[in-house]
Structure 1
Amino acid sequence: MGGGYSSLYWGERAESVVSIESDKKWHASICPKVLPHNAMYLKTQIHAADAANDYARFPLGLGKKFDVIVIDGGDIDGINTRLPCAKVALELLNTSAPQGAMIIVDNADWHSGVTRFLRESGLIQVDFSGFGPINCYTWSTSIFLTRNFAFMPKLLKQPLYSKDALHFEYDKE
């Protein structure tokens, strides 16, 4: 939830991506870049007293379950949407998928209530901290995996070498 550069990134790699954005200007700038097999919805608050839940509950009306959910939304009229989005994400997560499913929370270090909620819901938390692709400061992204998580890699070699890494193969089979 929250359409941005991660939506474009996933859009090139996933079968389909559904993004829900709340900022009209951002939606207008990103929407032309969205690939045809993906969808980007603009959802702004309708009921001022319940803006966060309005935005968060929108994907329930799509009637879909998702293998991967990214929570990267911000505020709507000063109301933070991340915790309501996390609660809805649990309802939308395809927990019956044989390969498992995951929720990704960007800027997780800023949202300890969200990460606690997802951990306490039985998901396994894995944190990644460091510089991101578009900012000059560090932050954490947390991935929350279902207990049966078993996504298969597209490439046989893992991990891949990072940019400018030294290449060694000590225990190649």
Structure 2
Amino acid sequence: MNKKEISFTLKLLKTIKHIPFALKIVRKIYPSHIQNILKNFRTLAFGYNQLGSMKKWSCLDKNNNPIPWYTYPTIEYLENLDFSDKNIFEYGSGNSSLWWVQRCKKIISIESDKKWFKYIQKIKNSNLDYRFSNNKKNYIYQSDIAGSHVIIIDGLWRSECADFVITSINSNKINPNMLIFDNSDWYPKTISKLNKRLKHYVQVDFSGFGPINGYTWTTSVFINSQFDSKLIYKTKLKSIAGIKQFRD
């Protein structure tokens, strides 16, 4: 940011500090386009609690509950689905693990960072099978991936993990409903490989802001189009900052 942008941002932050009272003042002081900028800031900073996530360096929603380090559009999409009878396998753990345990039947999560493993281990739930391995081979080749309805690739060695998942699917050892690959925009070759070699999966990309980061990125979801039971929506589709109105 240049000096002008920094100065402008600081003025906005100072103005919006006392929400919602400040918005009444903003309507009198600033033109409509500046008001909209402030509203956008308010939504992202407080509605999605990105500001709180940044301060605490932890992925948290507006109620300070743990959420995955995926993009916000991904989280909102997953929030609307019923995973209560599903088994989850996760490469890479964190607040995502704590978020999933509240929504699934069972989750197996493998972590390569010892310090992070010890932290999550202290607060893990009974339906979380939590494992540690910083050995590449042991980390990737997890036989217990069989029976998983959702597989998440969000840790180390993502390309190699994707190769193992592809091989396991194409050899009929596993048949998950869904794959989730975070930071997919950083792994274009791996995503292209998943797209080409998983013939019955539909790739859906969710790009946007997410917790902590000051930039946008992409979380890709691969949905199995041939799975016997369709994804079940547990709630009406909604967005944190959506306008409450119905057109049909």
Confirm or deny a common fold (TM above 0.5).
Answer: yes
Q: What is the aligned-residue RMSD (CA, Å)?
A: 1.8
Separation in structure 2 between the aligned mates of residue 94 and residue 153 of structure 1, nearest angstrom: 24
User: Does the 8 Å contact 1:22/1:44 carry over to 2?
Assistant: yes
> Where do residues 82-121 of structure 1 align in structure 2 (5 Å cutoff)?
82-90=158-166, 91=168, 94-95=174-175, 101-121=177-197
Separation in structure 2 between the aligned mates of residue 165 and residue 145 of structure 1, nearest angstrom: 25
The aligned counterpart of 1:54 is 138
Cα deviation digits, residues 135-164 of structure 1 (max 9, x gap): 222110000112225211122x2x11x224
Separation in structure 2 between the aligned mates of residue 132 and residue 164 of structure 1, nearest angstrom: 14
Separation in structure 2 between the aligned mates of residue 8 and residue 27 of structure 1, nearest angstrom: 12
Query: Across the two proteins, how many residue pairs are aligned to each other?
Result: 150
User: Does the 8 Å contact 2:153/2:182 carry over to 1?
Assistant: yes
Separation in structure 1 between the aligned mates of residue 212 and residue 118 of structure 2, nearest angstrom: 19
User: Does the 8 Å contact 1:124/1:145 carry over to 2?
Assistant: yes
Q: TM-score, normalised by structure 1?
A: 0.79
User: Which structure dedicates a bigger proportion of its chain to helix?
Assistant: 2
User: Which structure dedicates a bigger proportion of its chain to strand?
Assistant: 1
Structure number, greater radius of gyration: 2
1:63 Cα deviation (Å)? Answer: 6.5
Separation in structure 1 between the aligned mates of residue 207 and residue 159 of structure 2, nearest angstrom: 21
Q: Does 1 or 2 have the higher relative contact order (CA < 8 Å, sep 6+)?
A: 2
Structure 1 residue runs of 4+, over 3 Å off? Answer: none
Cα deviation digits, residues 69-94 of structure 1 (max 9, x gap): 010012xxxxxx11111122231674
Separation in structure 2 between the aligned mates of residue 23 and residue 126 of structure 1, nearest angstrom: 29
Is 1:132 the equivalent of 2:222? no
Structure 1 unaligned runs (5+)?
46-50, 75-80
When residues 25 and 119 of structure 1 are mapped into structure 2, their CA distance, relative to the original with a 3 A threshold, is same
Cα deviation digits, residues 98-157 of structure 1 (max 9, x gap): xx61110011110112211110122211000111123222110000112225211122x2
Question: Which secondary structure state, in structure 2, belongs to the residue aligned with residue 17 of structure 1?
Answer: strand
Is 1:67 the equivalent of 2:149? yes
Q: Percent sequence identity over matched residues?
A: 36
